[in-house]
Amino acid sequence: MNHYNSPKWALALLAFGTYATTASGASLTVLFQSSTGSAAFAVDRTVDSGANWYGQDPGQFHFITLAGGGGIVPNDFFTFCIEPREFVTVGQTYTYNIVPVEQGANNIGGMGVTKANFVRELLYNNYPNFSVALTPLTAAAIQVALWEIVREDSGSFNLATGTVQYRNWANDSVRVLATSMLGGLTGNGPYLSSVSALTLNGSVQDTLVQTTPEPAAFLVVAPALIVLAIRRRRNKAKG
């Protein structure tokens, strides 16, 4: 089989073009518009084997873009935090750095490639479009699943054991749904490639953002696609 005639090869090029044009290194100023977090979904959480427990209200954030983003960040979007025990306040503005997902959660030095791929897989399976406002239950489950992935070091995602643990579920349906989402992860994808992390040093939660490719993306993939088209024509002519 001619390698350059493979549809998979073309898709890989397109994916690379999209990834290559993320606004990594750019800044983004946002207004924290609202949160779907609710006491109905409160949960206690620990990362020190139960020495300290902290109450958390898992949910979804709604951000309004005010400036920056390199032209590839939506005007408003929904998102999730990836740094528990850090804080943002509704009505406040924040200027983030846009970095690859693996550099997110900079309060622990970044989550690394393996965890970042689990995050991308979780989002692909459960939240591929950041313009959608989810139900409070689904939003809470995705948020808990993200916290588990980012902070868990035991090698498996069990909400009751390991590096990060949860207890006293105000609504057990969140635990059940988050467990189902985590159980669907393989580490092999497919992955949501159009996602980056928003980081800000200090006590401000790092979050996620979905980016869209710039027109310049075509400058990255166009030459290769032209070569692909020419090779296809030649193969057809030979046939």
The tens digit of pLDDT for each residue in 190-224 reads 999 999 999 998 779 999 999 987 544 444 444 55
State residue 232's pLDDT score: 62
What is the Cα–Cα distance from 231 to 48, expressed in whole angstroms?
58
State residue 14's pLDDT score: 42
Residues with Cβ within 8 Å of 143's Cβ and at least 6 positions away in sequence, in order, are: 58, 59, 60, 80, 81
State residue 237's pLDDT score: 60
When the pLDDT of each residue in the chain is averaged and rounded to a whole number, the result is 84
Closest CA to 19 of 217, 199, 218: 217
State residue 236's pLDDT score: 58
Closest CA to 118 of 99, 145, 89: 145
pLDDT at 161 over 80: yes
What is the Cα–Cα distance from 190 to 125, expressed in whole angstroms?
8
State residue 71's pLDDT score: 87
State residue 25's pLDDT score: 75
Q: Tokens representing 125?
A: 């399976």
Q: Where exactly are the structural domains of the chain?
A: 1-21+214-239, 26-212
Q: Please count the CA atoms within 13 angstroms of the CA of 88 that sit on its side-chain side.
A: 33
The tens digit of pLDDT for each residue in 13-45 reads 444 444 444 556 799 999 999 998 666 799 999
Helical pair 112-126 and 172-183, crossing angle rounded to 10 deg: 110
The tens digit of pLDDT for each residue in 164-181 reads 999 999 999 999 999 999
- Provide mean pLDDT across the span 99-109: 93
pLDDT at 70 over 90: no
The answer to which of 61-70, 107-116, 135-144, 226-235 has the lowest mean pLDDT is 226-235
State residue 2's pLDDT score: 30
State residue 77's pLDDT score: 96
Q: How many Cβ atoms sit within 10 Å of the Cβ of residue 142? A: 24
Predicted confidence band of residue 125 (pLDDT cuts 50, 70, 90): very high
